[in-house]
Structure 1
Amino acid sequence: MFVRPCWRPSSEQDAVDLIEKNPWALLVSNGADGPMATNLPLLFDHKRSDKTVLIGHIARANDHAALLSQTSEPMLAIFEGPYTYVTASWYPKRDMPSTYYYTAVHCYGRVALQDEPQLDESVERLTQVMETPIPGGWKTSEIEREAITRRYKSILGFELHIERLEAKFKLGQDEPLKDALAVADQLERHSTKSDLELAAMIRKQNAGRED
C-alpha cells in the first residue's frame, strides 16, 4: 500500500482501534488460478495482549477454505475505516482539487487452523462482540447447544498471525491545515456516525500542525 510518511497514523493504537471498530474485512489469498477473496469479520484474539493475531471462520463449502488449509503462503486482510469524497467546494478558497479522505489497515500474515474448542470460543466471542451493543441482543445460550455445535462441521476456524501491518490515514495531512480543518467542519454538520468519526480522526491526525 502506498503510504506517504504524513499519512501514517499518529500511533499504532490508532490502527488497532480502526480494526476493532470496523471488523468487517476482506481476506485475500493467492490461489493456483489467481487471487481469491472473501468478505468476513475478523477479531483480535483477546487472549493475546500484543494484538498480533486475528481470528475468524469461513464456510468449508467456499473454495477459499481449501486454500487456507493447504497453503503456508502469506495472506492479506484489508480493513476499511471511515471515508468520504471531499469536494473542492468545502475548501475556504476552493483552490484545491477534489479528493477522497479515507482510512485503511492492511494486515499480512500466515494462517493457522483452529480445532473445534478454539472455533467454539471464537464463535462465542464474535457473538458477544456483535450482540452486546444491541439492546436485548441475542445470546448463544438461548438455543440448544447442539444447534450451534452441529454447524461446526460446515465451517473452518482459523487464526491470522500478523507479520506486517500497514495503515493509511489519508486525512489532509499533506494539504494546508485550514483546508483539512474545513473538511472536518463540514463533516461535523452531518448526522451520520461515520462522518462524525471521520471528522474526529481528521482533527486528531492533524493535531500539532502549525501551517
Structure 2
Amino acid sequence: MYLPRAFADHDPAALDALIAQDAFITLVTVVDGVPTVSHLPVLYRRDGARIELRGHWAKPNPQSTHTGPALAIVHGPHAYVSPSWYPDKEEASRVPTWNYVVAHLHGTLERLDDEASLAAIVSDLTAKHEASVGQAWEFEHERDSHRALLRGITGFRMLCDRVELKAKLSQNHPDANREAVIAQLGAQTSDASRAVARLMRATLDRTTDPVAGD
C-alpha cells in the first residue's frame, strides 16, 4: 500500500477501534499468480503484537483450499473532500481528494477443518452479531441439524505479522483547512462523512502543526 509518512498510524489501539467498528474484511490470496478475493466477517484478537483473525468460507469457495501468505484489508470510513472547502484554495491551487482510513494485515493463512474449531467460529460469530441486532439465535452444537451445517464450511485462522494502517485525514494541510473540512464533512448527511469528520477532529486535537511533505 502506498503509505506516505504523514498518513501512517502505528497505534495498535487505532487498529482495534477500526475493526471493532466493522470487522468485515476483504481477504486476498494469490495462487499460481492468480489473485482470489473473498469478503468475510471475522473474529479479531490482539495480544500485544500478536494478531489473529478467524472466520470461515463456504466450502465451494475456491479460496477455501488456500493456505500460506494472505492479505486482509480492513475498510474504515471514507469521504470526498472538495477543494472549495479550503480557505487557501486559490493561492495553493487545491484539488479534490478523498479522506479515508484503511488497514492492511499481512500474514499466514491456515485452514481449520475439525468440527470443534468450526463450531467455535460459528458460535463466536453468531454470539457477536446476534447481540448487535438485539437477537439471541444460538448455534447449538449438540443438535444434529446444527452440526450438519458445519459440513458446508471451511474455517481459517490468519496470524498477522505485519500491519499497515493508513489514516489519510488531511494531516498534510494547515490547521485552517483541516478545520474547514471537519465542519463541512460534519454537516453532511452521510454517516461515513460524519465518521471521517470525527476521526479528523481526534487527529487534529492530538497535533497542532501541519505535517510537511508527503
User: Does residue 60 of structure 1 match 2:59?
Assistant: yes
- Residue 178 of structure 1 is matched in structure 2 by 176
Kindly state the Cα deviation for residue 42 of structure 1 after the two structures are TM-superposed.
Answer: 1.7
- Residue 78 of structure 1 is matched in structure 2 by 73
For 1:107 and 1:203, the matched residues in 2 are separated by 26
Deviations 1:48-97 (A, max 9, x none): 633510001001111111123xxx3x100011100011111222243311
For 2:15 and 2:139, the matched residues in 1 are separated by 33
Deviations 1:134-193 (A, max 9, x none): 13x242168983332211111011110001110100000011221122111112113443
For 1:30 and 1:7, the matched residues in 2 are separated by 27
- Residue 127 of structure 1 is matched in structure 2 by 126
Q: For 1:205, what is the secondary structure of its paired residue?
A: helix
- Residue 160 of structure 1 is matched in structure 2 by 158
Q: How many positions carry a matched residue from both structures?
A: 204
Kindly indicate whether the alpha-carbon contact (under 8 Å) linking 1:9 and 1:205 is maintained by their aligned counterparts in 2. Answer: no
For 1:35 and 1:60, the matched residues in 2 are separated by 18
Deviations 1:122-144 (A, max 9, x none): 11111122121213x24216898
The worse-fitting range, judged by mean Cα deviation, of 90-99 and 159-168 is: 90-99
After TM superposition, the structure 1 = structure 2 runs for residues 1-211 of structure 1, keeping only pairs within 5 Å, are 1-9=1-9, 11-32=11-32, 34-45=34-45, 49-50=47-48, 52-68=51-67, 72=68, 74-95=69-90, 96-114=94-112, 115-135=114-134, 137-140=135-138, 145-206=143-204, 207-211=206-210
For 1:90 and 1:129, the matched residues in 2 are separated by 40
Residue 91 of structure 1 aligns with an amino acid whose one-letter code is: Y
For 1:188 and 1:142, the matched residues in 2 are separated by 44
For 1:199 and 1:41, the matched residues in 2 are separated by 26
For 2:144 and 2:18, the matched residues in 1 are separated by 35
Kindly indicate whether the alpha-carbon contact (under 8 Å) linking 2:53 and 2:158 is maintained by their aligned counterparts in 1. Answer: yes
Kindly state the Cα deviation for residue 33 of structure 1 after the two structures are TM-superposed.
Answer: 5.2
Question: Cα–Cα, structure 1 residues 10 and 180, in superposed 2: closer, same or farther, change >3 Å?
Answer: farther
Q: For 2:95, what is the secondary structure of its paired residue?
A: coil
Question: Cα–Cα, structure 1 residues 34 and 200, in superposed 2: closer, same or farther, change >3 Å?
Answer: same
Runs of 4+ in 1 over 6 A off after TM superposition: none
Kindly indicate whether the alpha-carbon contact (under 8 Å) linking 1:7 and 1:173 is maintained by their aligned counterparts in 2. Answer: yes
Residue 183 of structure 1 aligns with an amino acid whose one-letter code is: V
The worse-fitting range, judged by mean Cα deviation, of 191-200 and 14-23 is: 191-200
For 1:161 and 1:7, the matched residues in 2 are separated by 25
TM-score in terms of structure 1 length: 0.88
Question: Cα–Cα, structure 1 residues 92 and 146, in superposed 2: closer, same or farther, change >3 Å?
Answer: farther
